[in-house]
Chain A
């Protein structure tokens, strides 16, 4: 086991602590009374988690692809089941994203959530623990437990604190995700039967036959494609986003969607590299369809939240595009794009929550011409708008550029096909911003004469702090992404090596017998795609 792990050398078991704080905090929250106290408690717990997780970045050793800060406890010897956690360059950034976004989720719910505050704090903290668990565990069994554990708090967040169509949205979310995870469970059990272990690094090192890889890949990919979500499995997302409370939308956009991408990187690529290669053309095609489709649908929305939701589909298309290019730039770009989407789209959802608290509407036309009344708000919105359509100098640009470099250096046609997505992003975000800052499409500000809007207050201190925090990251990653790239460097290189070497270990005969037709279609597509 040592060849995969570097055991934790800090004076305390950092990963268990990070996982435990929100869990314990949630239990304590049950016994607290009073909304004010609960809010502060929630904020305190998430902040402490964030601070405690900082050494993961500071003490991280970027020179190795091994899993660091690892802890292994014997749990269920009969099944060779250990409680094992650790992070590498791929998961550590997502862990930090989670711990840093959660305090903002509490802050943006400060006045938004009006009832059942105790339950809200409890659910949010359980959610945080489950999400952290997914990213840090090194064990498929635990992975599945945490994966499913996320489902219920998220369902509750939408179903209890959601908007008018919350029942529809929450059940749709639940069914979609559950369908995916059933296949994931099948894959996990199949892998266990084949290898006799749940330990992820060992599963990665094992070589599977081509046909076996294919099944594993398809089962896992379905679960992750629903989660991320990839066209045509994206339909649950707009509904869930629109109906979820601000905190729910932020969690969903910033962290939950990333699990799909993380799953692809952790399961599909290293365990089924040959299958990944076979399926690459199809997944690239689906990614491009996500990019174009998401952008195109976003262009037609009148509901701000829906617009951002569809933009997420497009952004996640860039993530899957980067992942399935199977080269270093593409995967690095995809990783950055995941972090960036977490920051920028999270911020945009917070912005929408802020305006919804004031005007009680998510329609663009009810929220137009805010420039004169809320200059600070509009400034922040402008920054995140630019970031969202990958304006140079902001975070998203770096991610998108790396994905495009990966795409153009591999298949020029794929890169060229992704460009319309970038154009659409600029179109729908600028359209949204123009209308919100100035006026509606017909050129008139609607509510210059009704009394309501003059009462709109600009941001208060709490809201400014929330958005300012994210703004710092927008420009930091946008101009100086080197530290983040360095953290993921060794792990991504290792992953690409794993994929490449995995493809060589294939018996060539099997290749042709079973999937000749698939390969034929694939090579035809490839011929189309290769410049």
Chain B
């Protein structure tokens, strides 16, 4: 159970940043540029893997880089929660790295160097957030993610792009300045430090005689301040961020950016407030009900969307709240369910977005109603889509089932029928908006102009660059459903069994 003090853990954050510089330097040579991007991704993932064994043995890593003021520093601390997120994001960056090449070249996008640079920096900052050892460091990297994803959302530089990006940055900057910054100050003056309590998840950093109202206000401000988690009513930036190129939606708005938000909320709940305090002031159950609203409402809105990416966006909003819901129930089973969904949702949702992008590049279709019969021309893509949908719905043996299983156990642990009903209802809704897409693509009637067109759309090399990653992620989704042991073990290190 030792904590190793080593600067080695800075590597994971530094590699993507260095990769970004190299990408910038080789901007005129696309092949070299994209090689750097992929090498950066692979090295980042390896640097995370390298840290896993010690974490699995119950240890942790720590390093303090700068101290700004007593109790406020740039400090890194890696434990189970962090490595879960960092490992997922860095692995999926490799997949997305290949996928990007296919997508960006397939559509002949402009400003590709800027795109790859911002992409790499965003991932690097997310790694920093995963490794953050205190609230300030978390805030620092959270903000870097906001800034560097802005050019990605506005990538097309047309009216729609600017509008979407404006909404995106307004939501994220407003919430972080209006809620997160004062929350951080409030927590600091109550606790005298911003460092996370990493010994267990029960005790936070608050003193025993903490003022109930101040704690409540600080907590609510954190909850709303991390708007990247997409909790209603501060979710609206996510659908507008969908104007970005699909690889951005896939990696950043299904995995990196939104997970930074959810991860941050989990982190402050488990390592700043602690389950004991949240339970004592009834903040856990409040949060659980609060996000239940998001789970149901976002699913209902998703039903109404016919643009595939928009439907996925609302599905993301709904699914992210599962993670918060799990942690908010404050029982070991529920927290396990919530945290493992960070991984499960990431693999499944990135598959779905990859599919949406591949369909868009190969056939030019964005609307679900136009996709009739597409399954016959893009069988691999649509089968992967089906598998990932099953995961979202929570059907065994795909990974989403594990999440729902533990969440349901958690709800039963606290004898809460309402939350159980929420879980069931949302599963039905999930099925309601995913199954028709899949069925329509195989059995639906093609558009009149598509009738008679046959032949695979998945054969060209650039399309294969996109189809192979999505096949891999969907297969992994299934595997994680059958063998969730590795992740469960990491989470149990964190949560205690």
Give residues in A with beta carbon < 8 Å to B. Answer: 386, 391-393, 398, 401-402, 404-405, 408-409, 412, 415-416, 419-420, 422-423, 426-427, 430, 434, 438-439, 443, 479-482, 485
Contact = CB atoms under 8 A, between A and B. Distances in A.
B140 A401 contact: no
Interface string B430-471: 000000000000000000000000000000000000000000
B147 interface: yes
Contacts of B74: 393, 479
A405 B189 contact: yes
B68 A419 contact: no
Contact of B182 (A393, A404, A443): A404
Contact of A392 (B136, B158, B174): B136
Given A398-B68, A438-B157, A479-B68, A426 B189 contact: no
Given A392-B143, A393-B140, A402-B69, A423 B185 contact: no
B219 to A, nearest CB: 16
Interface of B: 65-69, 72, 74, 136, 139-140, 143-144, 147, 154, 157-159, 162-163, 166, 169-170, 173-174, 177-178, 181-182, 184-186, 188-189
Contact of B189 (A398, A409, A422, A434): A409
Contacts of A408: 182, 185-186, 189
A419 B69 contact: no
- Main secondary structure, interface of A, reads helix
Given A404-B182, A419-B181, A422-B181, A482 B189 contact: no
A238 B74 CA distance: 37
Nearest to A485: B69
A405 B177 contact: no
Contacts of A415: 182, 185
A430 B185 contact: no
B177 A423 contact: yes
A391 B157 CA distance: 25
Contacts of B166: 434
Contacts of B69: 398, 401-402, 481, 485
B185 A404 contact: yes
Nearest to A404: B185
Given A398-B69, A405-B189, A426-B177, A392 B182 contact: no
Contacts of B154: 438
B68 A481 contact: yes
Given A415-B185, A426-B173, A443 B158 contact: yes
Contacts of B140: 392-393
Contacts of B136: 392
A419 B162 contact: no
Contacts of A422: 177, 181
Contacts of A409: 189
A420 B170 CA distance: 14
A422 B173 CA distance: 10
B143 A419 contact: no
A482 B67 contact: yes
Contacts of B72: 401
A487 B233 CA distance: 46
Contact of B185 (A398, A405, A482): A405
Contacts of A426: 173-174, 177
Nearest to A420: B178
A272 B464 CA distance: 77
A391 B177 contact: no
A423 B174 contact: yes
A392 B139 contact: yes
30 contacts: A391-B147, A392-B140, A392-B143, A398-B69, A401-B68, A401-B72, A404-B181, A405-B188, A408-B189, A415-B185, A419-B178, A419-B181, A420-B178, A422-B177, A426-B174, A427-B170, A430-B169, A438-B154, A439-B157, A443-B159, A443-B163, A479-B66, A479-B68, A479-B74, A480-B66, A480-B67, A481-B68, A481-B69, A482-B67, A485-B69
